[in-house]
């Protein structure tokens, strides 16, 4: 890839390690929220179509939580997106332009999906049978957004395609024809369904005293979904790994020892989480899942660095030291975490009072 097609990176105010640390800290939080949103809605749609009094109550419970999970997914996604732009913005901006027609469509699709989520929540009873179709449409819109994000995150790594702008200047270039895209996208979506099942099981746990039938259905459906989709997703994850370029794949098979250790730990944790899920140990499953998601975020960072190794490494970023923005960020972060904790407490109290 000719460096002429790669813009010069921006100057950063502190060493790149700070931004990498914050990216790896915040991105898994976005993934967990996004997975709860997407996977939880998928299970809600299934229960709504399935029918039955208990299934409908569970679908309604998921509908009530849907706007909240969308809000968390969106807001938790802002920080990692900004940190990735600081580190890899000169690649991300190019890929966003190459697929600009689709990338710009993300915002109106998200607005419509968010509106549909509120309508599904507030008009659940009045919508009747139409509600399940509305929920399905919202789910499809969220899947489309995930499809566009997966395209952009992959396209920014395929720098050999940047010159294709001069042949395709209408902003409709996608990376979906790349052999790694399909396993990448399916791996993410199946992961979302698994974590969504875990979210539904946890939701039912907090209704056990008021609606034991709903709680039992939420636990059984959620944990069963988590277990079987995780089994299937392990195979898709191996497909995703084997589809990678040889140098990227070998990085997790001994060529890069930290990456190999991370990959091995993730596999061991997958065994542990399957055992915990089979035994219906919700909290043990949750902690295993959180650890796996963080390890996957580290593996993703290594993979991205290997893709870009011949044209860029983070050590090339120029630093002009200015600590005040970072200090201000940490102050706002602490305040924001406090607000989120307070909001979650109030939300829990409100939901418990229903």
What band does 333 get if pLDDT is binned at 50, 70 and 90? confident
Residue 208, pLDDT score: 66
Write out pLDDT tens, residues 133-187.
Answer: 999 999 999 999 999 999 999 999 999 999 888 888 899 999 999 999 999 999 9
The predicted structure's pLDDT at residue 63: 94
Beta partners for residue 319, in sequence order: 12
How high is the pLDDT of residue 329?
84
Q: Sorting pLDDT into bands at 50, 70 and 90, what band is 347? A: confident
User: Quick one: fold of 3-162+169-322?
Assistant: Formate dehydrogenase/DMSO reductase fold (1.20.1630)
- Sketch the domain layout of the chain as residue ranges: 3-162+169-322
Percentage of the chain beyond pLDDT 90 is 74
Specify the pLDDT at position 259: 93
Q: How confident is the model at residue 278 (pLDDT cuts 50, 70, 90)?
A: very high
pLDDT at 94: 93
In the predicted structure, residue 241 carries a pLDDT above the cut 60: yes
The reported pLDDT for the residue numbered 267 is 94
Average pLDDT taken over every residue of the chain: 91
**Contacts of residue 87, Cβ cutoff 8 Å, sequence gap at least 6:** 12, 16, 19, 20, 23, 314, 317
Q: Is the dihedral of CA 247, 249, 254, 257 positive or negative?
A: positive
Q: Is the confidence at residue 270, as pLDDT, over 70?
A: yes
The pTM score is: 0.91
User: Interhelix angle for 212-242 vs 53-98, to 10°?
Assistant: 30
- φ, ψ of residue 32 to 5 degrees: the values are -65, -45
Predicted local confidence at residue 266, as pLDDT: 94
Q: What is the pLDDT of residue 44?
A: 94
CA 20 to chain CA mean position, Å: 18
pLDDT bin (cut points 50, 70, 90) of residue 351 is low
């Amino acid at each position: 890839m000719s460096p002429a097609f790669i813009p010069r990176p921006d100057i950063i105010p502190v060493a790149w390690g700070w931004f990498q640390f914050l990216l790896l800290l915040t991105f898994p939080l976005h993934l967990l929220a996004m997975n709860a949103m997407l996977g939880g809605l998928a299970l809600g749609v299934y229960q709504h179509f399935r029918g039955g009094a208990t299934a409908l109550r569970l679908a309604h419970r998921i509908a009530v939580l849907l706007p909240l999970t969308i809000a968390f997914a969106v807001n938790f996604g802002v920080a990692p997106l900004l940190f990735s732009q600081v580190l890899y913005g000169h690649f991300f901006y190019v890929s966003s332009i190459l697929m600009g027609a689709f990338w710009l469509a993300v915002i109106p699709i998200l607005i419509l999906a968010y509106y549909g989520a509120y309508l599904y929540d507030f008009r659940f009873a009045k919508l009747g049978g139409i509600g399940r179709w509305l929920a399905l449409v919202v789910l499809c819109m969220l899947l489309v957004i995930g499809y566009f994000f997966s395209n952009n995150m992959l396209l920014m790594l395929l720098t050999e395609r940047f010159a294709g702008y001069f042949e395709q200047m209408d902003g409709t270039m996608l990376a979906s024809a790349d052999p790694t895209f399909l396993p990448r996208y399916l791996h993410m979506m199946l992961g979302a369904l698994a974590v969504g099942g875990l979210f539904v099981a946890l939701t039912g746990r907090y209704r056990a005293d008021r609606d034991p039938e709903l709680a039992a259905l939420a636990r059984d459906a959620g944990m069963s979904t988590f277990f079987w989709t995780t089994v299937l997703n392990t195979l898709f994850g191996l497909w995703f790994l084997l589809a990678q370029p040889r140098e990227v794949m070998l990085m997790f098979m001994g060529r890069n020892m930290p990456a190999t250790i991370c990959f091995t730990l993730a596999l061991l944790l997958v065994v542990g989480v399957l055992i915990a899920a089979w035994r219906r140990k919700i909290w043990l499953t949750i902690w295993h899942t959180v650890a796996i998601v963080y390890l996957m975020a580290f593996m993703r960072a290594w993979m991205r660095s290997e893709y870009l190794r011949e044209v860029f490494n983070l050590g090339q970023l120029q630093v002009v030291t200015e600590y005040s923005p970072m200090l201000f960020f940490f102050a706002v972060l602490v305040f924001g975490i406090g607000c989120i904790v307070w909001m979650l407490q109030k939300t829990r109290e409100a939901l418990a009072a229903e």
